């Protein structure tokens, strides 16, 4: 239950939320959260006696969370706006409790591989964003000299592929050039995000075949990830730069990452809701809405990913929201687009499975808000703490619902979550202390320099 108690002419705060349940860095607590000028100005006990122009009292059926941070989103505008777009993606993000996204340098046209392309993307995003949006730059063959200018222009770091990306305008790096570009990123003090699948292993694997998911899974074996991640770790060891492995699906590679960190190598890793919720055994033949690269693997692998999150071997969960028009998701697994739409559903999807496994909301917040913000250098995002942006989510953790695609704000309603029963409903999302209403696009374009 949510109750607005009224106004006080003598208040020193703009907004006060009285929350019997709020997730702070210390865990779930009862707190008053005060907001002034769009920032959190106070986190005090419920009896603190704070006053505000507006007071909102929350019931104990609602938990106040920090806005989630999703550092792996493909918006596709400009150039492929028929796939998604800033207005639809950020509206979906807000509906899912995500208040900051970082947009990948592909699959927009032009890709964000130089300052001119970044300016084009920012111009496309301006005035359309319901949540805050930042940008990654791209590292592709031949653009090493463009990285410093991109960093100076405000990108949060760089993204590269070690195998074909799926779009011709964003080709992969070979291992030698990857290490060269990683060294540049390290000198600039920003991370290099890596799609780590070895192209040679994939080339030698059996073809994806047709409608059978088992054939597709065999075409993207674990060894492709395991080998590439080992190469990434050694390059990070030699350069001293920070490498971040995106969308980890092979649990085998967690040992490589864990041991490297124990040795002082700067390497982090993420996984995604679809790897934590679905299993290869349950995917029917022809169900290309489940196709992604690397692929969804077996139930035993999923269990190990959850263990890796609990142990800290995996640092965070982000969606890798990568939508496309429905006609690109039909047909055989070898031809369908490899991407999953989940930006609006990531929080309830993860919470449903986390809860079943005895994990807490505080852990989910650490994986989906604090972790991504820390990796990207978003120093005012991802926590309910004094000085942070008042990006907040009112979440009902016990409410169940069935995913109805027509209720999603993504441009296209193609999702493997269709018809799935999930637990946890986002009641409202607040950006800098103001509810996101779906009409007023108040999101800002953020840069690393001011984040």
Tens-place pLDDT, residues 214-249: 999 999 999 999 999 999 999 999 999 999 999 999
Which pLDDT score, from 0 to 100, does residue 450 have? 54
The reply to whether domains 2-64+390-411+420-435 and 66-376 share a CATH topology is: no
> Could you state, in order of their start, the residue ranges of all structural domains in the chain?
2-64+390-411+420-435, 66-376
List the structure tokens of 155: 């990108």
Strands annotated E in 162-204: 192-195
- Domain 66-376: assigned CATH number: 3.20.20.140
Predicted confidence at residue 438, as pLDDT, reads 86
What is the predicted pLDDT for the residue at 208? 87
Sequential DSSP letters for 335-365: TS---B--TTTHHHHHHHHHHHTT--HHHHH
Contact residues for 270 (Cβ-Cβ < 8 A; gap 6+): 71, 72, 244, 245, 246, 247, 248, 314, 315, 316, 317, 318, 371, 372, 375
46 sits in which H/E element: none
Whether omega before 447 lies within 30 degrees of 0, making that bond cis, reads: no
Which pLDDT belongs to residue 11?
61
Q: How far is CA 325 from CA 258, 261, 283, 338, in A?
A: 38, 40, 21, 12
Length of the chain: 451
Model pLDDT, residue 3: 44
Residue 163 DSSP SS3: coil
pLDDT along the chain (451 residues), means of 10: 45 92 97 98 95 95 98 98 98 98 98 98 98 98 98 98 97 98 98 98 92 95 98 98 98 97 97 98 95 98 98 97 94 91 97 98 98 97 98 98 96 94 98 95 89 49
CATH superfamily, with its number, for domain 2-64+390-411+420-435: Urease, subunit C, domain 1 (2.30.40.10)
- The pLDDT of residue 248 is 98
- Structure token pair of residue 323: 């939508």
**Helices (DSSP H) in 189-221: which residue ranges?**
199-204, 213-219
Residues contacting residue 351 through CB under 8 Å, at least 6 positions apart? 361, 364, 397, 422, 423, 424
Beta strands in 173-278 (DSSP E): 192-195, 243-245, 267-271
Helices 175-188 & 222-239, crossing angle to 10 degrees? 50
Q: What pLDDT was estimated at residue 317?
A: 98
């Amino acid at each position: 239950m949510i109750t607005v108690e009224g106004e006080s002419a003598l208040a020193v705060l703009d907004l006060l939320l009285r929350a019997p349940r709020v997730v702070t860095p210390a865990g779930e607590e009862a707190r008053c959260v005060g907001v002034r000028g769009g920032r959190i100005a106070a986190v005090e006990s419920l009896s603190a006696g704070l006053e505000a122009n507006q007071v909102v009292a929350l019931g104990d059926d609602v938990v106040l969370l920090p806005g989630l941070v999703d550092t792996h989103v493909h918006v596709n505008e400009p150039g492929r706006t028929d796939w998604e777009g800033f207005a639809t993606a950020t509206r979906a993000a807000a509906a899912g409790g995500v208040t900051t996204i970082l947009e990948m340098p592909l699959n927009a046209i032009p890709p964000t591989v130089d300052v001119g392309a970044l300016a084009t993307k920012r111009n496309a995003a301006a005035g359309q964003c319901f949540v805050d949006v930042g940008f990654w730059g791209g590292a592709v063959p031949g653009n090493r000299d463009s990285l410093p200018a991109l960093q100076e222009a405000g990108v949060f770091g760089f993204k590269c592929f070690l195998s074909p990306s799926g779009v011709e305008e964003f080709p992969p790096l070979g291992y030698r050039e990857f290490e060269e570009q990683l060294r540049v990123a390290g000198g600039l003090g920003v991370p290099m995000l890596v799609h780590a699948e070895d192209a040679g292993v994939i080339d030698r694997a059996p073809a994806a075949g047709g409608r059978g998911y088992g054939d597709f899974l065999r075409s993207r074996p674990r060894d492709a990830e395991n080998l590439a991640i080992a190469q990434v770790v050694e390059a990070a060891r030699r350069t001293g730069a920070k490498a971040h492995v995106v969308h980890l699906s092979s649990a085998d590679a967690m040992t490589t990452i864990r041991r490297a960190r124990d040795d002082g190598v700067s390497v982090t890793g993420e996984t995604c809701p679809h790897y934590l919720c679905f299993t290869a055994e349950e995917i029917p033949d022809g169900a290309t809405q489940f196709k992604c690269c690397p692929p969804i693997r077996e139930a035993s692998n999923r269990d190990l990913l959850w263990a890796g999150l609990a142990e800290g071997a995996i640092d965070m969960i982000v969606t890798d929201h990568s939508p496309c028009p429905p006609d690109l998701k039909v047909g055989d697994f070898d031809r369908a687009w490899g991407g999953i739409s989940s930006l609006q559903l990531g929080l309830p999807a993860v919470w449903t499975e986390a809860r079943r496994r005895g994990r807490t909301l505080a852990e989910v917040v650490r994986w989906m808000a604090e972790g991504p913000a820390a990796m990207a250098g978003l120093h005012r995002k991802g926590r309910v703490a004094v000085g942070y942006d008042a990006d907040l989510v009112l979440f009902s953790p016990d409410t169940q619902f069935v995913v109805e695609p027509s209720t999603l704000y993504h441009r296209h309603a193609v999702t493997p979550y269709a018809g799935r029963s999930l637990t946890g409903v986002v009641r409202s999302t607040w950006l800098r202390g103001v509810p996101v209403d779906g009409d007023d696009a108040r999101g800002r374009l953020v840069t690393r320099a001011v984040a």
